[in-house]
Amino acid sequence: MFDCDGVIVETEELHRLAYNGAFEAFELKIGSTPVNWSVEYYDVLQNTVGGGKPKMKWHFKENGWPSSKTTNGVVPTSDADRDALVDALQDKKTEIYKRIVEEVAVARPGVLALMDEAIADPTIAVGICSAATKAGFEKVVNSVVGSERLSKLDVLMAGDDVTKKKPDPLIYNLAREKIGLPSSKCVVFEDSIVGLRAAVGANMPCLVTPCGSNQDADFIGEGASVVVPDLSNVKLGMLFPADADAPRFDAVRGVVGARA
């Protein structure tokens, strides 16, 4: 099971730019200060909260709820008004993000080749499980993964498909139930601490390919089976040797740059 943002495509900076574009379009302010997420702050946020709406709600809870031109400069106080503002911001962010993805997104090294190997093996089920909202997620997978591959996947789930987002393990547990396998026979590919915690919470072995701000996180300490720079040297046979009844990582630990 592949995460999308950061595993299939390095999208962290694209998301940050899209959020800031939405904040600017809504003239979002906390007090008199325009809301803008710096690279350094988004690095922290990305490894703290999964999903777009939860990120914004966490930020506003910590820093104060903002005024915007859609609220006529008034700070929303009711849960309904706050939810409506976050929903509208997420819609605008997704609109901007889709445009950016169309212009610049490309697959990370090795991920599509590994996915193709797995799709071609009838004994392997393949899925993508993302915390991103469906509209933004679909733009990425349609643009980068392609409709032909997507049609052959056994599971395709976005953040909208679950009631709790990563680091909660729900999305991986539901995906496992769909394919009818125990967690011990699954492999999750993640790039962040938030995603790794979701995999560990589902009792699934997790191979981490860090990107962006996640490079120096303590993935092994958090329970990753192995950490590799990217998937360009990872082959299906390394993970599922012919004599194996569950995933193995010994061969992957031998690739250049691997940590275990």
Residues known to be catalytic: 3, 5
Nearest by Cα to 162 from 196, 136, 130: 130
Cα distance between residue 92 and residue 83, in whole Å: 14
Q: Show the tokens assigned to 153.
A: 């996947």
Nearest by Cα to 10 from 156, 210, 246: 210
The DSSP line for 6-58 is TTTB--HHHHHHHHHHHHHHTT-EETTEEP---HHHHHHHHTT--SHHHHHHH
The DSSP bridge pattern shows strands 226-227 and 188-190 to be: unpaired
Total H helices, total E strands in the chain: 10, 7
Q: Show the tokens assigned to 213.
A: 């701000």
Residue 29 amino acid letter: K
Is the Cβ–Cβ distance between 171 and 198 less than 8 Å? yes
Type and span of the H or E element at 127: strand 127-129
Cα distance between residue 5 and residue 26, in whole Å: 25
- End-to-end alpha-carbon separation of the chain, Å? 20
Q: Show the tokens assigned to 19.
A: 């959020």
Is the Cβ–Cβ distance between 93 and 18 less than 8 Å? yes
Residue with tokens 């090795």: 110
